[in-house]
Chains A and B, each alone.
Chain A
Amino acid sequence: MPIRVNPRLIEELDFFGAEDVQYCYHCGDCSANCPHADEVFRFPRKWMRTLQMGLERKLETALEPWLCYYCGQCSEQCPREADPGETMMSLRRWLISRYDFTGIARLFYTSKASEILAIVITGLLTGIGFLWYGLHFGNIHIYDGPGAFLPSSFIHTFDLTLGSVLLVILLINAFRMWRLTLYNERSVPIPWWLYIKRIFLLPWHFFTQKRYAECESKRSTKIFMPWIIHLSLMLGYVIMLVLVMAFIEQLQLGPEIFWPVHVFGYAATIGLVIGTIYFIRSRVFKQNQVQYKKSHSTDWVFVVLLFIIVLTGILQHLFHRTGLLEVANIIYIVHLMAVVPWLLRMPFSKWAHLVYRPLAMYFASILRDAIKIQEKKESPVPSPALG
């Protein structure tokens, strides 16, 4: 099949953050340094090449960008300062926009103005909507229970509706990812039972992010901090999401602390606070780690909005407990004004990462097994070693 080349692809990737791809002269330092590059999945150099050549179709079907956790060792040693790590990150952003059928991801990643505008508009609309609802149907002096300013049952319905819409979008995109990477790209036949055999990898990678820790396997002085922080942020985030989606009514109870639910809330909050502060600090001071030197506008949007959400979440909880119910209600509105645009952003950024990454690892191991099976079928004798 002839390969169609998109010579403008490298320029397009500029918007997603890969600015220095053209400097790469293919010495292979990055791939040799990468702790995750193996026999089947080799990166980042190969994908720098693909990008330079503009092989859009090939890039679309790539799983490799998702196998990278951006430890930055490739960029640290790159003799051309072509920043392969950032390129892989940008490819992930680009892939998200490719999987996304709505086109929103692409719009947000390529246009800073439209992203900020969308956030401001949805934020304001949310604020006005809830304020209107609260003033009409509720009482600003009541935080929970009957006649509350923003009754938790209402918020619950709202959350579930919004969440399921987003989830549907995400699932459709995940399906599109499967179709692009495994279904369309059938270099080897994939037996159906491999999908079942390897299914355990999905929760395993989702909850442990083991590969992030494996990033340090080649480094002499191992830096586990980003992994721990990333994991705690992610776990805190997932717990909070579950609490908000399923247990919002219990979460809003008060002023007494309802320990069976709130203990999870506190644990999640600690993870979120540590995570956001760590990442904001890293990005502001651009610490000696390569991965924080360049920040795409969407990275900033994520951490800054998350910080506002966490802060207002903590504040309304505190004010609710201390009896300043009016203040708590107003902060609640502010909280929602940040939450809704942030949630709308999620299927195209961090949820996407949360879903696509374990999926990619799952797909990758399926593909690896399929290739092994195929090789066994074709040549029972192992191929001769090099040299």
Chain B
Amino acid sequence: MRIGVYFCQVESGKILNIDAIAKYSANLPGVELVRMLGIKPKLIPLTLCKELKDNRIQRVIIAGDMPGYYKPVFTKAMAMAGYNPHEVRLASFREHGATAQDSNDRAKAIVACATHGVPFALAAIPKETPVHHSTLIIGGGIAGIQAALEIADAGKQVYLLERTGTIGGHMAMFDKTFPTLDCSACILTPKMVSVGQHDMIDLMTRSELESVSGSPGAYHVKIRKRARYVDIDACVACDICSGVCPVKVPSEFDAELSMRKAIYIPFPQAVPNAYLIDPDTCTYIQTQGEKCGVCAKKCPKECINLNEKDEIVEVEVGNIVLATGYDVLDAKKMEQYGYGIFPNVFTALEFERMTNASGSTGGKIVTKTKVQNKKTKEDEWILLPDGNPPKSVAIIHCVGSRNKKYNAYCSRVCCMYSLKFAHLVREKIPNVKCYEFYIDMRAFGKGYEEFAERIKSEGTFVVRGRTATVEMRGDQMIVNGEDIILDKVIEFPVDMVVLAIGLIPAPGTQELSTLLGLTRDSDGWFSELDYNGSPTDTERGGIFVAGMCQAPKDIPDTVAQASAVAAGVLKSITSGKGIGHRSSLSLSEIEQRAQLIHTE
């Protein structure tokens, strides 16, 4: 069969060495014609037809990042030339994952398979490997908890790694979940307790991945367990240590709205339910034992060891699940909204903590109160439970999301949680005016649209048009915006502004990706193997992604993905066959296989 190979790219083909691939493809059996068409060529069926006829080409291979784009032209040309139009085959580099720097061999194999008329996926099934029965899960948020419970309930060992002192992640900070307005803690806390008590789950808090070696099915993992300085088994969470600790720092769990001590428990329902010491702020640890140490003296159980050291734990696992979650964008970057300048501009996480019954205001939505700091004699704004409730609240959508200057992508959850905020505001404060400023309302899930309609019918003013700026006029905060439906430029006087801030990958995602040899997409999230077909796998065999670390998603989707990951892990364990790295086959092996399938 006489074969013609056409190279044409849609985007610049700088990642791959197209010339080398073309040279290679010219030596493949049957290839008579190799043409380089460059980036976005303008193809004319008539000229192509003439070329095909002149060279008596019976099969056309279109090779490139998105060759399907040009298929219609070639099909037409083949038909015009009187050849079989079905003999136009695609060698798609992007579809088959030849997108990284060192995937020239993979691209060559893709072209080779196409010339044989063999699907690449068939010829390039990775080798299967035996699988170790235990699993490592990185990240103890809802995704990690769900995956851990599903795998452990199936009777397989799980190591659950968590960087902070407790599992629970962001979901533990929330008050209500959308669209059902269920209590977030009521869903999460039982799961957390199950994790803490499960025989098959080895929970490692304050731990981070140190190194990974080995191959799919048999990873050798080194974990750094940072010192907690408190014996988890002995601690009864009596709070005496925290009472005597002199150091006060903003609480991370409370979105820095309230203060915690250097020895603290993140929240009362924390798992493991034990105190821990923040070594960065503890006086004893910072002065290397010269000062303080009062907590250790006062502890009735004598479970505080201020001289504890980090330890390295080594485990063998078959699969690794990434569930590292997200972080929020720094709202101070967007000066126009006045976050950090005006006291009553809150981020979504801060508002979430404020409205939570376990938060510093006991669930009351109040504006900040001006208080004089006794030490510095300066006025500062703090949240007090008896503060004034706002008369009007503005919730601004898409802050830092869908914005080419910050995040080009949609953070996917903001519309819904903003609507939830509007409900909570109107539920907790009588006669409050609540404005939602949105660009496009993305209420896409089951029951979401109904929820949005419900919020609108409750009397929240849903204004199309995101506000441009927040400014202070005297004591009154003014939100400037354009109401696009009314076609008016308007100013809203409000007492409180909530910014539906965009989401970014969790800190450390980049380090983790280099450690594990994973690729990330242009926005920084972990890349899945195939967006539609295998959304939980990665290109490295035996490594899975669950939850936000793959892309922004809400709690139902996160839980669903975590369960899907558990199914994938359990499949590999029960079948005893894990799928290896996609790069485990060499070029010649794929060529041989393609040849074999072709002759069969």
Taking beta carbons and an 8 Å cutoff, which residues of A are in contact with B?
A: 25-34, 37-39, 42, 45-46, 77, 79-81, 218, 386-387
Contact = CB atoms under 8 A, between A and B. Distances in A.
Nearest to B439: A27
A329 B486 CA distance: 64
B334 to A, nearest CB: 9
A386 B482 contact: no
Contacts of B484: 26, 28, 45
A27 B480 contact: no
Contacts of A31: 468, 482, 489
Nearest to B336: A77
Interface stretch (B37-45, B48-56, B459-467): B459-467
A50 B568 CA distance: 51
A191 to B, nearest CB: 26
A29 B461 CA distance: 19
Interface string B463-505: 0011111000000000011111011111000000000000000
25 contacts: A27-B398, A27-B439, A28-B466, A28-B467, A28-B481, A29-B468, A29-B482, A30-B468, A31-B489, A32-B465, A32-B468, A32-B469, A32-B489, A33-B468, A33-B469, A38-B489, A39-B488, A39-B489, A46-B487, A79-B398, A79-B402, A79-B405, A218-B469, A386-B483, A387-B433
A42 B487 contact: yes
Q: Which 6 A-B pairs have the closest CB atoms?
A: A28-B482, A32-B468, A28-B465, A79-B403, A27-B466, A31-B482
Nearest to A31: B482
Interface in B181-203: none
Given A39-B488, A386-B486, A387-B433, A32 B404 contact: no
Contacts of A25: 402, 439-440
A48 to B, nearest CB: 11
A33 B486 CA distance: 17
Interface of B: 336, 398, 402-405, 433, 439-440, 461, 465-469, 480-484, 486-490
Nearest to A385: B490
Contacts of A30: 468
B440 to A, nearest CB: 7
Given A386-B486, A387-B461, 9 more contacts: A27-B398, A27-B466, A32-B482, A32-B489, A33-B480, A42-B488, A77-B468, A79-B404, A81-B404
Contacts of B402: 25, 79-80
A380 B433 CA distance: 29
Contact of B465 (A26, A39, A79, A218): A26
Contacts of A218: 469
A87 to B, nearest CB: 16
B333 to A, nearest CB: 13
Contacts of B482: 28-29, 31-32, 37, 42, 45
A387 B462 CA distance: 11
Contact of A37 (B404, B440, B469, B489): B489
A38 B487 CA distance: 11
A42 B439 contact: no
A118 B563 CA distance: 71
Nearest to B399: A79
Nearest to B490: A386
Contacts of B468: 28-33, 77
B74 to A, nearest CB: 28
B489 A29 contact: no
A387 B434 CA distance: 10
With a 10 A CB-CB cut-off, give which of A29, A37, A38, A387 has the most chain B CB atoms: A29
A218 B489 CA distance: 14
A28 B483 CA distance: 8
Contacts of B469: 32-33, 218
Contacts of A80: 402-404
A34 B468 CA distance: 10
A32 B480 contact: yes
Contact of B439 (A26, A33, A34): A26
Contacts of B488: 39, 42, 386
A37 B468 CA distance: 13
B516 to A, nearest CB: 33
A218 B433 CA distance: 27
A194 B596 CA distance: 89
A133 B544 CA distance: 86
A27 B468 CA distance: 8
A137 B521 CA distance: 76
A26 B433 CA distance: 24
Contact of A29 (B433, B466, B483, B487): B466
A26 B465 CA distance: 7
A90 B484 CA distance: 23
A38 B489 CA distance: 7
Contacts of B398: 27, 79
Nearest to B335: A220
A80 B488 CA distance: 21
A313 B44 CA distance: 55
B268 to A, nearest CB: 40
